Amino acid sequence: MRTKFILLLLIVLNVYVQAQNNKYAVYGVAFYNVENLFDTEDSDDTNDEEFTPNGGYHWNEMKYDNKLKNISTVLNQLGNKYCPQGPAIIGLSEVENRKVLDDLVAYGDFAEKKYQIVHEESPDYRGIDVALIYNPDLFKLESYKIFPFVLPEDNKYKTRDQLLVTGHISGEKVHVIVNHWPSRRAKSIRREQAAQVTRSIVDSLLNDDAAAKIFVMGDLNDDPTNNSVKKVLKGKRKKADVNSDEMYNPFWDYYAQGIGTLAYKGSWSLFDQILMSKGLIGSNKKELFFWKAEIFNKDFLISQEGQFKGYPKRTHSKGIYLNGYSDHLPVITYIAKQL
């Protein structure tokens, strides 16, 4: 009777897939750059004046509510083909503070999933942070820690901290590092330096456990083939090429096909990525293993007309309010485990 109850509980929590007479529970691990999720208040310690009622974007309560509605709509659909309760973990970037996260997880139908929040303020001059939200039925939080990006030669340089979150999915420990590396306006060396911070976190985790299950996710502001991702982070295109200290990048194949997560001047980039350690690409299906990766590119997220037809539908463009979602598309990986 107890075995039947556990199986029924797993089916309620997640869709299971069946292959070769075996059944697998499926869990989603996702990331989304939500593009300037700001409240309407002017914070004294950040440069957020544009996102106030009197600022350049005339950011009022109506626009803020629309933004929450739009982002929650995306998150409510993200991965639900295989994960009806939503992804176990969703990393976020470009969130202003804890308040906007509280408002987001409590918004409309999305509130029913009861996501919990991991967040710390970053020193970024614009006031934007990374964060992680998680479904407590699927992910059991153990600990978290922030890692600042500090340049000894330039103590005035400020950007987002990196967030390491550790917890358990299906009884197995997983580590998630959420990133938002320096923008393309900065020199490429800045993103390589940010990648070195991430790499040091990964190395530390692998030193403690060579088989550690690690996700590196975020808006890296570089493509899979750039040095920061390919060389510093040691991201590989093929699972067979991944050595013990390297990472598998399932989004490289998308990029090679010209598919991306954001577009600029007719060209697509794939800055939003989720990489994983060798511990997630093993052959033991009795443990959590990588199944597949997707870019969530539903039609409603794409502009259907005008100058930016075919691009992600963003909130503003050239000062005009579009009531869109984000200039980035979400990404998701699915991990599975044999029942």
Domains of the chain: 27-338 (3.60.10.10)
Any idea of the CA torsion for 274, 280, 281, 283, to the nearest 10 degrees?
-160
The residue behind tokens 């409510």 is 76
- pLDDT tops 70 at residue 3: no
> DSSP 3-state assignment of 134?
strand
Instruction: Tell me the average pLDDT of the chain.
Output: 93
Distance CA(314)–CA(303), nearest Å, equals 8
pLDDT digits over 233-248, tens only? 999 999 999 999 999 9
Considering only CA atoms, which of 246, 242, 253 is closest in space to residue 216?
246
pLDDT digits over 102-123, tens only? 999 999 999 999 999 999 999 9
pTM above 0.75, yes or no: yes
Percent of the chain with pLDDT over 90: 83
The residue behind tokens 């803020």 is 64
Distance CA(313)–CA(336), nearest Å, equals 32
- pLDDT tops 90 at residue 154: no
Q: Are 107 and 73 in contact (CB under 8 A)?
A: no
Q: What pLDDT, on the 0 to 100 scale, is given for residue 272?
A: 98
Q: Are 218 and 176 in contact (CB under 8 A)?
A: no
Q: Grade residue 7 by pLDDT with cuts at 50, 70 and 90.
A: very low
* Across 133-143, average pLDDT: 98
* Across 138-146, average pLDDT: 98
Strand 16-19 relative to strand 316-317, pairing: unpaired
